[in-house]
Chain A
Amino acid sequence: MPQTKSWIVPTLYIFFLMLPIYWLVNMSFKTTNEILGGFSLYPKEFTLENYITIFTDPTWYTGYLNSLAYVGINTVLSVAVALPAAYAFSRYRFIGDKHLFFWLLTNRMAPPAVFALPFLQLYSAVGLFDTHIAVALAHTLFNIPLAVWILEGFMSGVPKELDETAYVDGHPFWSFFIKIFIPTIAAGIGVAAFFCFMFSWVELLLAKTLTSVDAKPIAATMTRTASTSGYELGLLAAAGTLTIIPGAFVIYFVRNYIAKGFALGRV
Protein backbone atom coordinates (compact mmCIF):
# COMPACT_ATOMS: atom_id res chain seq x y z
CA MET A 1 0.00 0.00 0.00
CA PRO A 2 2.45 2.71 0.96
CA GLN A 3 3.20 3.82 -2.57
CA THR A 4 5.37 6.83 -2.15
CA LYS A 5 3.89 8.62 -5.15
CA SER A 6 0.30 8.00 -4.22
CA TRP A 7 -0.36 11.58 -3.12
CA ILE A 8 -0.31 12.58 -6.78
CA VAL A 9 -3.79 11.17 -7.42
CA PRO A 10 -5.65 13.07 -4.67
CA THR A 11 -3.65 16.19 -5.47
CA LEU A 12 -4.64 16.08 -9.13
CA TYR A 13 -8.24 15.41 -8.17
CA ILE A 14 -8.34 18.37 -5.80
CA PHE A 15 -6.72 20.52 -8.48
CA PHE A 16 -9.51 19.47 -10.86
CA LEU A 17 -12.11 20.30 -8.20
CA MET A 18 -10.66 23.75 -7.65
CA LEU A 19 -10.51 24.80 -11.31
CA PRO A 20 -14.18 25.72 -11.84
CA ILE A 21 -14.31 27.31 -8.40
CA TYR A 22 -11.27 29.40 -9.22
CA TRP A 23 -12.88 30.45 -12.46
CA LEU A 24 -16.01 31.55 -10.66
CA VAL A 25 -14.05 33.59 -8.11
CA ASN A 26 -11.90 34.99 -10.90
CA MET A 27 -14.98 36.17 -12.80
CA SER A 28 -16.47 37.71 -9.69
CA PHE A 29 -13.58 40.18 -9.44
CA LYS A 30 -13.79 41.24 -13.08
CA THR A 31 -15.70 44.13 -14.49
CA THR A 32 -18.44 43.40 -17.02
CA ASN A 33 -16.33 45.07 -19.68
CA GLU A 34 -13.40 42.83 -19.02
CA ILE A 35 -15.54 39.71 -19.03
CA LEU A 36 -17.13 40.58 -22.33
CA GLY A 37 -13.77 41.78 -23.66
CA GLY A 38 -12.35 38.29 -23.87
CA PHE A 39 -10.45 35.50 -22.14
CA SER A 40 -8.10 36.28 -19.26
CA LEU A 41 -6.70 33.98 -16.58
CA TYR A 42 -6.95 36.51 -13.77
CA PRO A 43 -8.78 39.82 -13.27
CA LYS A 44 -6.75 42.57 -14.92
CA GLU A 45 -8.95 45.38 -13.63
CA PHE A 46 -9.57 44.00 -10.14
CA THR A 47 -12.93 45.23 -8.84
CA LEU A 48 -15.13 44.71 -5.81
CA GLU A 49 -18.04 46.36 -7.62
CA ASN A 50 -20.00 43.09 -7.92
CA TYR A 51 -19.77 42.35 -4.21
CA ILE A 52 -20.69 45.91 -3.28
CA THR A 53 -23.82 45.62 -5.41
CA ILE A 54 -24.84 42.42 -3.64
CA PHE A 55 -24.30 43.79 -0.15
CA THR A 56 -26.14 47.05 -0.84
CA ASP A 57 -29.05 45.84 -2.96
CA PRO A 58 -31.80 44.37 -0.75
CA THR A 59 -33.07 42.04 -3.50
CA TRP A 60 -29.67 40.37 -3.30
CA TYR A 61 -28.82 40.20 0.36
CA THR A 62 -32.32 39.32 1.54
CA GLY A 63 -31.95 36.29 -0.68
CA TYR A 64 -29.12 35.10 1.56
CA LEU A 65 -31.09 35.74 4.70
CA ASN A 66 -34.06 33.87 3.25
CA SER A 67 -31.94 30.88 2.34
CA LEU A 68 -30.26 30.76 5.73
CA ALA A 69 -33.64 31.14 7.44
CA TYR A 70 -35.35 28.17 5.83
CA VAL A 71 -32.22 26.02 5.94
CA GLY A 72 -31.89 26.77 9.66
CA ILE A 73 -35.54 26.01 10.41
CA ASN A 74 -35.37 22.84 8.38
CA THR A 75 -32.20 21.57 10.07
CA VAL A 76 -33.49 22.16 13.57
CA LEU A 77 -36.91 20.73 12.81
CA SER A 78 -35.62 17.64 11.01
CA VAL A 79 -33.14 16.72 13.71
CA ALA A 80 -35.56 17.49 16.54
CA VAL A 81 -38.31 15.17 15.29
CA ALA A 82 -35.88 12.58 14.00
CA LEU A 83 -34.26 12.12 17.43
CA PRO A 84 -37.17 10.40 19.23
CA ALA A 85 -38.14 8.50 16.09
CA ALA A 86 -34.61 7.18 15.58
CA TYR A 87 -34.56 6.18 19.25
CA ALA A 88 -37.78 4.23 18.81
CA PHE A 89 -36.44 2.46 15.73
CA SER A 90 -33.15 1.59 17.39
CA ARG A 91 -34.57 0.40 20.73
CA TYR A 92 -38.09 -0.93 20.29
CA ARG A 93 -40.13 -3.23 18.14
CA PHE A 94 -43.62 -2.09 17.36
CA ILE A 95 -46.37 -2.84 14.88
CA GLY A 96 -45.33 -1.78 11.42
CA ASP A 97 -41.85 -0.62 12.39
CA LYS A 98 -40.04 -2.13 9.43
CA HIS A 99 -42.62 -0.95 6.91
CA LEU A 100 -42.58 2.51 8.37
CA PHE A 101 -38.82 2.71 8.20
CA PHE A 102 -38.81 1.55 4.60
CA TRP A 103 -41.60 3.94 3.67
CA LEU A 104 -39.63 6.81 5.20
CA LEU A 105 -36.61 5.88 3.08
CA THR A 106 -38.64 5.74 -0.12
CA ASN A 107 -39.31 9.43 0.32
CA ARG A 108 -35.58 9.98 -0.04
CA MET A 109 -36.06 8.56 -3.54
CA ALA A 110 -38.86 10.91 -4.48
CA PRO A 111 -37.75 13.26 -7.25
CA PRO A 112 -38.40 16.90 -6.30
CA ALA A 113 -39.63 17.41 -9.84
CA VAL A 114 -42.51 15.04 -9.08
CA PHE A 115 -43.48 16.96 -5.98
CA ALA A 116 -43.00 20.50 -7.24
CA LEU A 117 -46.51 21.03 -8.57
CA PRO A 118 -48.48 19.25 -5.81
CA PHE A 119 -46.41 21.09 -3.21
CA LEU A 120 -47.23 24.39 -4.85
CA GLN A 121 -50.92 23.57 -4.61
CA LEU A 122 -50.71 22.13 -1.11
CA TYR A 123 -48.83 25.02 0.42
CA SER A 124 -50.96 27.59 -1.38
CA ALA A 125 -54.05 25.85 -0.03
CA VAL A 126 -52.84 26.05 3.57
CA GLY A 127 -51.74 29.66 3.11
CA LEU A 128 -48.03 29.09 3.58
CA PHE A 129 -46.96 29.96 0.05
CA ASP A 130 -43.95 32.27 -0.06
CA THR A 131 -42.94 31.73 3.58
CA HIS A 132 -39.73 30.29 5.03
CA ILE A 133 -41.81 27.69 6.84
CA ALA A 134 -43.15 26.32 3.58
CA VAL A 135 -39.71 25.64 2.15
CA ALA A 136 -38.44 24.30 5.46
CA LEU A 137 -41.39 21.92 5.71
CA ALA A 138 -41.09 20.83 2.10
CA HIS A 139 -37.44 19.98 2.58
CA THR A 140 -38.27 17.77 5.56
CA LEU A 141 -39.64 15.34 2.96
CA PHE A 142 -36.15 14.11 2.18
CA ASN A 143 -34.25 15.40 5.23
CA ILE A 144 -36.27 13.68 7.95
CA PRO A 145 -35.81 10.21 6.45
CA LEU A 146 -32.11 10.95 6.09
CA ALA A 147 -31.79 12.23 9.66
CA VAL A 148 -33.70 9.23 11.06
CA TRP A 149 -31.49 6.90 9.07
CA ILE A 150 -28.22 8.49 10.22
CA LEU A 151 -29.28 8.85 13.86
CA GLU A 152 -30.62 5.30 14.03
CA GLY A 153 -27.18 4.11 12.95
CA PHE A 154 -25.45 6.06 15.68
CA MET A 155 -27.95 5.06 18.35
CA SER A 156 -27.68 1.37 17.52
CA GLY A 157 -23.97 1.75 18.24
CA VAL A 158 -24.74 2.84 21.82
CA PRO A 159 -25.09 -0.20 24.07
CA LYS A 160 -28.51 -0.70 25.59
CA GLU A 161 -26.87 -1.03 28.99
CA LEU A 162 -26.54 2.75 29.03
CA ASP A 163 -30.34 3.12 29.04
CA GLU A 164 -30.79 0.39 31.59
CA THR A 165 -28.18 1.82 33.96
CA ALA A 166 -29.88 5.18 33.79
CA TYR A 167 -33.27 3.70 34.70
CA VAL A 168 -31.71 1.76 37.56
CA ASP A 169 -30.18 5.02 38.75
CA GLY A 170 -33.68 6.43 38.79
CA HIS A 171 -33.58 8.86 35.89
CA PRO A 172 -37.00 9.52 34.40
CA PHE A 173 -37.03 8.87 30.65
CA TRP A 174 -36.88 12.43 29.35
CA SER A 175 -34.17 13.47 31.74
CA PHE A 176 -32.14 10.43 30.65
CA PHE A 177 -32.78 11.19 27.00
CA ILE A 178 -31.78 14.84 27.17
CA LYS A 179 -29.03 14.77 29.77
CA ILE A 180 -27.33 11.48 29.03
CA PHE A 181 -28.35 10.01 25.70
CA ILE A 182 -28.17 13.08 23.49
CA PRO A 183 -24.66 14.06 24.64
CA THR A 184 -23.55 10.47 23.98
CA ILE A 185 -24.55 10.65 20.34
CA ALA A 186 -23.47 14.27 19.83
CA ALA A 187 -21.31 13.23 16.90
CA GLY A 188 -24.29 11.62 15.22
CA ILE A 189 -26.39 14.73 15.70
CA GLY A 190 -23.57 16.77 14.17
CA VAL A 191 -23.46 14.51 11.13
CA ALA A 192 -27.25 14.47 10.75
CA ALA A 193 -27.43 18.26 11.04
CA PHE A 194 -24.64 18.58 8.51
CA PHE A 195 -26.48 16.52 5.93
CA CYS A 196 -29.79 18.29 6.58
CA PHE A 197 -28.04 21.61 6.14
CA MET A 198 -26.34 20.39 3.02
CA PHE A 199 -29.38 19.03 1.21
CA SER A 200 -31.58 21.95 2.19
CA TRP A 201 -28.93 24.47 1.19
CA VAL A 202 -28.26 22.98 -2.23
CA GLU A 203 -31.85 22.23 -3.25
CA LEU A 204 -33.44 24.82 -5.47
CA LEU A 205 -36.34 23.39 -7.43
CA LEU A 206 -38.75 23.17 -4.48
CA ALA A 207 -37.40 26.31 -2.84
CA LYS A 208 -37.96 28.29 -6.00
CA THR A 209 -41.37 26.82 -6.68
CA LEU A 210 -42.71 27.58 -3.20
CA THR A 211 -41.59 31.20 -3.04
CA SER A 212 -42.13 34.35 -5.04
CA VAL A 213 -40.93 37.48 -3.23
CA ASP A 214 -40.77 37.38 0.56
CA ALA A 215 -38.93 34.11 1.01
CA LYS A 216 -37.09 33.92 -2.27
CA PRO A 217 -33.78 32.07 -1.88
CA ILE A 218 -30.52 33.56 -3.09
CA ALA A 219 -30.17 30.86 -5.68
CA ALA A 220 -33.47 31.88 -7.26
CA THR A 221 -32.40 35.53 -7.34
CA MET A 222 -29.41 34.38 -9.33
CA THR A 223 -31.43 32.61 -11.98
CA ARG A 224 -33.64 35.64 -12.36
CA THR A 225 -30.59 37.84 -12.85
CA ALA A 226 -29.22 35.53 -15.45
CA SER A 227 -32.41 35.63 -17.44
CA THR A 228 -33.70 39.20 -17.06
CA SER A 229 -30.87 41.66 -16.73
CA GLY A 230 -28.92 40.26 -19.59
CA TYR A 231 -25.37 39.24 -19.24
CA GLU A 232 -24.25 40.27 -15.76
CA LEU A 233 -21.83 37.40 -15.38
CA GLY A 234 -19.64 39.19 -12.85
CA LEU A 235 -22.55 39.76 -10.52
CA LEU A 236 -23.70 36.18 -10.98
CA ALA A 237 -20.21 34.90 -10.22
CA ALA A 238 -19.96 37.03 -7.08
CA ALA A 239 -23.29 35.76 -5.82
CA GLY A 240 -22.23 32.21 -6.60
CA THR A 241 -18.95 32.66 -4.75
CA LEU A 242 -20.84 33.91 -1.73
CA THR A 243 -23.08 30.83 -1.70
CA ILE A 244 -20.00 28.62 -1.40
CA ILE A 245 -18.90 30.29 1.83
CA PRO A 246 -21.56 29.03 4.29
CA GLY A 247 -21.02 25.49 3.02
CA ALA A 248 -17.26 25.79 3.41
CA PHE A 249 -17.73 27.02 6.97
CA VAL A 250 -20.01 24.17 7.88
CA ILE A 251 -17.65 21.55 6.43
CA TYR A 252 -14.74 23.04 8.28
CA PHE A 253 -16.52 22.77 11.61
CA VAL A 254 -17.76 19.24 11.17
CA ARG A 255 -14.69 17.88 9.34
CA ASN A 256 -13.83 15.44 12.11
CA TYR A 257 -17.38 14.19 12.42
CA ILE A 258 -17.91 13.55 8.72
CA ALA A 259 -15.48 10.68 8.51
CA LYS A 260 -16.96 9.18 11.67
CA GLY A 261 -20.48 9.49 10.36
CA PHE A 262 -19.57 7.93 7.07
CA ALA A 263 -17.68 5.22 8.90
CA LEU A 264 -20.90 3.97 10.35
CA GLY A 265 -21.97 3.25 6.83
CA ARG A 266 -24.84 5.66 6.89
CA VAL A 267 -25.44 8.78 4.94
Chain B
Amino acid sequence: MNKQINQKAWLFVLPVFILVAFNALIPLMTVVNYSVQETFGDNVFFWSGLLWFQEVLTSERFQNALIRQLIFTFSILAIEIPLGVAIALTMPRKGPWVPVCLVLMALPLLIPWNVVGAMWNIFALPDIGLLGYTLNALGFDYNFTSQPGDAWFTLILMDVWHWTSLVVLLAYAGLVSIPDAFYQAAKIDGAGSWAIFRHIQLPKMKRVLTIAVLLRFMDSFMIYTEVSVLTGGGPGNSTTLLSIDLVKIALGQFDLGPAAAMSLIYFLIILLLSWVFYTVMMRNEDQ
Protein backbone atom coordinates (compact mmCIF):
# COMPACT_ATOMS: atom_id res chain seq x y z
CA MET B 1 0.00 0.00 0.00
CA ASN B 2 1.33 3.38 -0.92
CA LYS B 3 1.23 5.55 2.15
CA GLN B 4 0.70 9.25 2.03
CA ILE B 5 3.28 11.46 3.66
CA ASN B 6 1.51 13.38 6.38
CA GLN B 7 3.29 14.88 9.37
CA LYS B 8 -0.02 15.56 11.10
CA ALA B 9 -0.17 11.84 11.70
CA TRP B 10 2.01 12.57 14.71
CA LEU B 11 -1.08 14.02 16.37
CA PHE B 12 -2.72 10.58 16.14
CA VAL B 13 0.29 8.93 17.68
CA LEU B 14 0.76 11.53 20.39
CA PRO B 15 -1.47 9.99 23.10
CA VAL B 16 0.27 6.65 22.69
CA PHE B 17 3.62 8.33 22.65
CA ILE B 18 2.97 10.32 25.83
CA LEU B 19 1.58 7.35 27.76
CA VAL B 20 4.30 4.94 26.76
CA ALA B 21 7.00 7.53 27.20
CA PHE B 22 5.74 8.30 30.70
CA ASN B 23 5.81 4.60 31.52
CA ALA B 24 8.98 3.66 29.73
CA LEU B 25 11.32 6.62 29.59
CA ILE B 26 11.05 7.98 33.12
CA PRO B 27 11.56 4.58 34.78
CA LEU B 28 14.30 3.75 32.32
CA MET B 29 16.04 7.01 33.20
CA THR B 30 15.66 6.17 36.88
CA VAL B 31 17.25 2.83 36.23
CA VAL B 32 20.11 4.34 34.24
CA ASN B 33 20.60 6.88 37.01
CA TYR B 34 20.83 4.31 39.74
CA SER B 35 23.05 2.10 37.67
CA VAL B 36 25.87 4.64 37.63
CA GLN B 37 25.58 5.93 41.20
CA GLU B 38 26.25 4.73 44.66
CA THR B 39 24.33 5.58 47.77
CA PHE B 40 24.83 5.08 51.49
CA GLY B 41 21.22 5.92 52.21
CA ASP B 42 19.89 9.40 53.09
CA ASN B 43 19.28 10.13 49.41
CA VAL B 44 22.90 11.06 48.92
CA PHE B 45 24.32 9.69 45.67
CA PHE B 46 27.84 9.45 44.33
CA TRP B 47 28.95 8.87 40.77
CA SER B 48 30.20 5.33 40.45
CA GLY B 49 30.69 4.95 36.73
CA LEU B 50 30.49 1.46 35.37
CA LEU B 51 31.29 -0.09 38.73
CA TRP B 52 27.91 -1.75 39.15
CA PHE B 53 27.95 -3.12 35.63
CA GLN B 54 31.35 -4.65 36.28
CA GLU B 55 30.21 -6.06 39.55
CA VAL B 56 27.07 -7.60 38.09
CA LEU B 57 28.71 -9.02 35.00
CA THR B 58 31.53 -10.63 36.93
CA SER B 59 29.41 -11.93 39.80
CA GLU B 60 28.94 -15.65 39.81
CA ARG B 61 25.42 -15.16 41.09
CA PHE B 62 24.37 -13.27 37.93
CA GLN B 63 26.18 -15.63 35.61
CA ASN B 64 24.51 -18.65 37.19
CA ALA B 65 21.09 -17.03 36.99
CA LEU B 66 21.71 -16.21 33.34
CA ILE B 67 22.78 -19.77 32.56
CA ARG B 68 19.70 -21.16 34.31
CA GLN B 69 17.59 -18.69 32.39
CA LEU B 70 19.05 -19.74 29.05
CA ILE B 71 18.61 -23.44 29.85
CA PHE B 72 15.01 -22.82 30.86
CA THR B 73 14.16 -20.72 27.81
CA PHE B 74 15.72 -23.04 25.27
CA SER B 75 14.19 -26.13 26.87
CA ILE B 76 10.69 -24.78 26.74
CA LEU B 77 11.18 -23.50 23.17
CA ALA B 78 12.45 -26.91 22.11
CA ILE B 79 9.39 -28.58 23.61
CA GLU B 80 6.58 -26.08 23.04
CA ILE B 81 7.19 -25.14 19.41
CA PRO B 82 7.26 -28.68 17.89
CA LEU B 83 4.53 -29.87 20.26
CA GLY B 84 2.32 -26.90 19.44
CA VAL B 85 2.77 -27.41 15.70
CA ALA B 86 2.03 -31.13 16.02
CA ILE B 87 -1.17 -30.48 17.95
CA ALA B 88 -2.28 -27.80 15.49
CA LEU B 89 -1.71 -30.22 12.60
CA THR B 90 -3.94 -32.84 14.15
CA MET B 91 -6.76 -30.45 15.00
CA PRO B 92 -9.90 -30.64 12.85
CA ARG B 93 -10.05 -27.75 10.39
CA LYS B 94 -13.77 -27.23 10.60
CA GLY B 95 -16.73 -28.60 12.45
CA PRO B 96 -18.52 -28.16 15.77
CA TRP B 97 -15.48 -29.26 17.81
CA VAL B 98 -13.23 -26.45 16.64
CA PRO B 99 -14.59 -23.69 18.92
CA VAL B 100 -14.75 -26.14 21.82
CA CYS B 101 -11.10 -27.10 21.31
CA LEU B 102 -10.03 -23.48 20.96
CA VAL B 103 -11.81 -22.33 24.11
CA LEU B 104 -10.49 -25.22 26.22
CA MET B 105 -6.98 -24.78 24.89
CA ALA B 106 -6.96 -21.04 25.46
CA LEU B 107 -8.06 -21.46 29.07
CA PRO B 108 -4.55 -21.70 30.63
CA LEU B 109 -3.59 -18.45 28.89
CA LEU B 110 -6.26 -16.55 30.79
CA ILE B 111 -5.37 -17.71 34.28
CA PRO B 112 -3.50 -15.16 36.41
CA TRP B 113 0.13 -16.16 36.58
CA ASN B 114 0.28 -16.55 40.33
CA VAL B 115 -2.79 -18.79 40.19
CA VAL B 116 -0.94 -20.89 37.63
CA GLY B 117 1.92 -21.16 40.11
CA ALA B 118 -0.40 -21.91 43.02
CA MET B 119 -2.37 -24.44 40.99
CA TRP B 120 0.76 -26.33 40.03
CA ASN B 121 2.02 -26.14 43.56
CA ILE B 122 -1.13 -27.87 44.79
CA PHE B 123 -1.10 -30.23 41.80
CA ALA B 124 2.49 -31.31 42.37
CA LEU B 125 2.55 -31.58 46.17
CA PRO B 126 4.09 -35.01 46.89
CA ASP B 127 1.59 -35.98 49.58
CA ILE B 128 -1.75 -34.60 48.40
CA GLY B 129 -1.20 -33.36 44.82
CA LEU B 130 -2.41 -35.50 41.94
CA LEU B 131 0.89 -35.33 40.06
CA GLY B 132 3.16 -35.72 43.09
CA TYR B 133 1.09 -38.50 44.62
CA THR B 134 0.84 -40.41 41.34
CA LEU B 135 4.56 -40.17 40.63
CA ASN B 136 5.42 -41.38 44.11
CA ALA B 137 2.86 -44.16 43.86
CA LEU B 138 4.52 -45.24 40.62
CA GLY B 139 7.78 -45.60 42.49
CA PHE B 140 9.51 -42.34 41.61
CA ASP B 141 11.06 -40.47 44.47
CA TYR B 142 9.48 -37.14 43.59
CA ASN B 143 9.52 -33.99 45.70
CA PHE B 144 9.83 -30.67 43.91
CA THR B 145 10.32 -28.68 47.10
CA SER B 146 13.50 -30.48 48.06
CA GLN B 147 15.05 -31.95 44.92
CA PRO B 148 16.37 -29.55 42.25
CA GLY B 149 15.83 -32.01 39.40
CA ASP B 150 12.19 -32.46 40.34
CA ALA B 151 11.78 -28.71 40.70
CA TRP B 152 13.05 -28.22 37.14
CA PHE B 153 10.85 -31.00 35.82
CA THR B 154 7.80 -29.41 37.44
CA LEU B 155 8.76 -25.94 36.26
CA ILE B 156 9.15 -26.97 32.64
CA LEU B 157 6.00 -29.09 32.71
CA MET B 158 4.12 -26.11 34.12
CA ASP B 159 5.38 -23.81 31.39
CA VAL B 160 4.50 -26.35 28.72
CA TRP B 161 1.04 -26.60 30.26
CA HIS B 162 0.70 -22.84 30.45
CA TRP B 163 1.98 -21.72 27.07
CA THR B 164 1.91 -24.51 24.46
CA SER B 165 -1.64 -23.42 23.64
CA LEU B 166 -0.35 -20.09 22.38
CA VAL B 167 1.82 -21.91 19.84
CA VAL B 168 -1.12 -24.17 18.96
CA LEU B 169 -3.45 -21.23 18.36
CA LEU B 170 -0.92 -19.38 16.24
CA ALA B 171 0.06 -22.42 14.19
CA TYR B 172 -3.58 -23.37 13.80
CA ALA B 173 -4.45 -19.91 12.52
CA GLY B 174 -1.61 -20.22 10.03
CA LEU B 175 -2.96 -23.56 8.89
CA VAL B 176 -6.58 -22.53 8.42
CA SER B 177 -5.50 -19.52 6.39
CA ILE B 178 -4.16 -21.89 3.70
CA PRO B 179 -6.78 -22.01 0.91
CA ASP B 180 -8.28 -25.44 0.19
CA ALA B 181 -6.95 -25.24 -3.36
CA PHE B 182 -3.41 -25.84 -2.05
CA TYR B 183 -4.40 -29.12 -0.44
CA GLN B 184 -6.43 -30.08 -3.50
CA ALA B 185 -3.57 -29.31 -5.87
CA ALA B 186 -1.19 -31.28 -3.66
CA LYS B 187 -3.58 -34.23 -3.69
CA ILE B 188 -3.79 -34.13 -7.46
CA ASP B 189 0.00 -33.80 -7.69
CA GLY B 190 0.22 -36.97 -5.60
CA ALA B 191 1.99 -35.38 -2.63
CA GLY B 192 2.26 -37.39 0.58
CA SER B 193 1.58 -35.90 4.01
CA TRP B 194 5.27 -35.16 4.63
CA ALA B 195 5.53 -33.31 1.30
CA ILE B 196 2.36 -31.38 2.14
CA PHE B 197 3.81 -30.40 5.51
CA ARG B 198 7.20 -29.50 4.10
CA HIS B 199 6.11 -27.57 1.02
CA ILE B 200 2.71 -26.15 1.92
CA GLN B 201 2.01 -26.04 5.63
CA LEU B 202 5.42 -25.14 6.98
CA PRO B 203 6.05 -22.26 4.54
CA LYS B 204 2.60 -20.85 5.22
CA MET B 205 3.10 -21.10 8.99
CA LYS B 206 6.49 -19.44 8.89
CA ARG B 207 5.26 -16.00 9.74
CA VAL B 208 3.10 -17.03 12.67
CA LEU B 209 5.80 -19.39 13.91
CA THR B 210 8.27 -16.53 13.91
CA ILE B 211 5.88 -14.63 16.12
CA ALA B 212 5.36 -17.68 18.31
CA VAL B 213 9.09 -18.18 18.82
CA LEU B 214 9.64 -14.48 19.55
CA LEU B 215 6.78 -14.23 22.01
CA ARG B 216 7.69 -17.43 23.78
CA PHE B 217 11.31 -16.36 23.90
CA MET B 218 10.56 -12.93 25.34
CA ASP B 219 7.95 -14.09 27.81
CA SER B 220 9.92 -17.07 29.04
CA PHE B 221 12.92 -14.82 29.54
CA MET B 222 10.82 -12.51 31.68
CA ILE B 223 9.03 -15.22 33.64
CA TYR B 224 8.70 -14.32 37.29
CA THR B 225 5.38 -14.87 39.02
CA GLU B 226 4.76 -18.53 38.22
CA VAL B 227 8.23 -19.56 39.30
CA SER B 228 8.16 -17.39 42.36
CA VAL B 229 4.90 -18.96 43.54
CA LEU B 230 5.79 -22.54 42.57
CA THR B 231 9.34 -22.84 43.86
CA GLY B 232 10.33 -19.37 45.03
CA GLY B 233 13.60 -19.96 43.19
CA GLY B 234 14.42 -23.00 45.29
CA PRO B 235 15.28 -25.46 46.47
CA GLY B 236 18.40 -23.48 47.27
CA ASN B 237 19.00 -21.33 44.21
CA SER B 238 18.38 -24.11 41.74
CA THR B 239 15.44 -22.44 39.98
CA THR B 240 16.46 -18.82 40.55
CA LEU B 241 16.01 -17.36 37.09
CA LEU B 242 17.05 -13.83 36.14
CA SER B 243 13.93 -11.97 37.17
CA ILE B 244 13.62 -13.86 40.46
CA ASP B 245 17.15 -12.83 41.28
CA LEU B 246 16.49 -9.26 40.18
CA VAL B 247 13.41 -8.88 42.35
CA LYS B 248 15.31 -10.31 45.30
CA ILE B 249 18.02 -7.70 44.87
CA ALA B 250 15.78 -4.76 44.05
CA LEU B 251 12.70 -5.15 46.22
CA GLY B 252 14.12 -7.55 48.79
CA GLN B 253 17.50 -6.04 49.55
CA PHE B 254 16.96 -2.57 48.04
CA ASP B 255 20.41 -2.70 46.46
CA LEU B 256 19.47 -0.08 43.94
CA GLY B 257 22.73 0.23 42.04
CA PRO B 258 23.36 -3.43 41.27
CA ALA B 259 19.66 -3.99 40.64
CA ALA B 260 19.55 -1.16 38.13
CA ALA B 261 22.69 -2.30 36.36
CA MET B 262 21.34 -5.82 36.21
CA SER B 263 18.02 -4.56 34.87
CA LEU B 264 19.72 -2.82 31.99
CA ILE B 265 21.90 -5.80 31.16
CA TYR B 266 18.84 -8.04 31.36
CA PHE B 267 16.78 -5.81 29.07
CA LEU B 268 19.62 -5.53 26.57
CA ILE B 269 20.04 -9.30 26.45
CA ILE B 270 16.36 -9.71 25.59
CA LEU B 271 16.51 -7.01 22.92
CA LEU B 272 19.65 -8.47 21.43
CA LEU B 273 18.43 -12.06 21.35
CA SER B 274 15.01 -11.04 20.00
CA TRP B 275 16.73 -9.16 17.24
CA VAL B 276 18.94 -12.14 16.44
CA PHE B 277 15.94 -14.48 16.35
CA TYR B 278 14.02 -12.09 14.18
CA THR B 279 16.80 -11.56 11.63
CA VAL B 280 17.62 -15.24 11.39
CA MET B 281 13.99 -16.26 10.92
CA MET B 282 13.24 -13.49 8.46
CA ARG B 283 16.40 -13.90 6.40
CA ASN B 284 14.93 -16.31 3.89
CA GLU B 285 11.88 -14.12 3.52
CA ASP B 286 13.85 -11.29 1.92
CA GLN B 287 15.69 -13.36 -0.64
Residue A107 is within 8 A (CB to CB) of chain B in the complex: yes
State the 6 A-B residue pairs at the shortest beta-carbon distance, nearest first.
A247-B110, A262-B173, A118-B27, A113-B243, A88-B12, A92-B9
- Specify which chain A residues have a CB less than 8 angstroms from the CB of B57 in the assembled complex: none
**Does B53 reach chain A (CB closer than 8 Å)?**
no
Q: Can you pick out 7 interface pairs between chain A and chain B where the beta carbons lie within 8 Å of each other?
A: A13-B168, A84-B13, A91-B9, A140-B20, A250-B110, A258-B106, A265-B208
Question: What A residues does B173 contact at CB under 8 A?
Answer: 259-263, 265
Interface size on A, residues (CB 8 A): 100
Q: Number of residue pairs across A and B with beta carbons under 8 Å?
A: 282
Given A19-B131, A89-B13, A138-B23, output 7 extra A-B contacts at Cβ < 8 Å.
A6-B90, A16-B161, A20-B161, A113-B222, A116-B250, A259-B176, A266-B211
Give the size of the chain B interface in residues (CB under 8 angstroms).
97
Tell me the bound Cα distance from A237 to B97 in angstroms: 29
Query: CA A162 – CA B16 in complex, angstroms?
Result: 25
Choose from B15, B23, B102, B183 the contact partner of A141 (Cβ within 8 Å): B23
CA of A267 to CA of B215 in the docked complex: distance in angstroms? 9
B residues touching A (Cβ–Cβ < 8 Å)? Answer: 1, 3-10, 12-13, 15-17, 19-20, 22-24, 26-28, 30-31, 86-87, 90-92, 97, 99, 101-115, 118-120, 122-123, 127-131, 133, 161, 164-166, 168-170, 172-174, 176-177, 183, 193, 196, 207-208, 211, 215, 218, 221-222, 224-225, 229, 242-243, 246-247, 250-251, 256, 259, 263-264, 266-267, 270-271, 274
Residues of B within 8 A of A259 (CB): 102, 169, 172-173, 176
Instruction: Select A106's contact among B31, B161, B271, beta carbons within 8 Å.
Output: B271
How far is B266's CA from A260's CA once the two chains are assembled, in angstroms? 34
Cβ-defined contact, A202 with B113, below 8 A? yes
Instruction: Determine chain A's interface SS by DSSP, over half rule.
Output: helix
Q: Does A55 contact B (CB under 8 A)?
A: no
Q: A9-B86, A92-B4 are in contact. Are A17 and B105 (CB under 8 A)?
A: yes
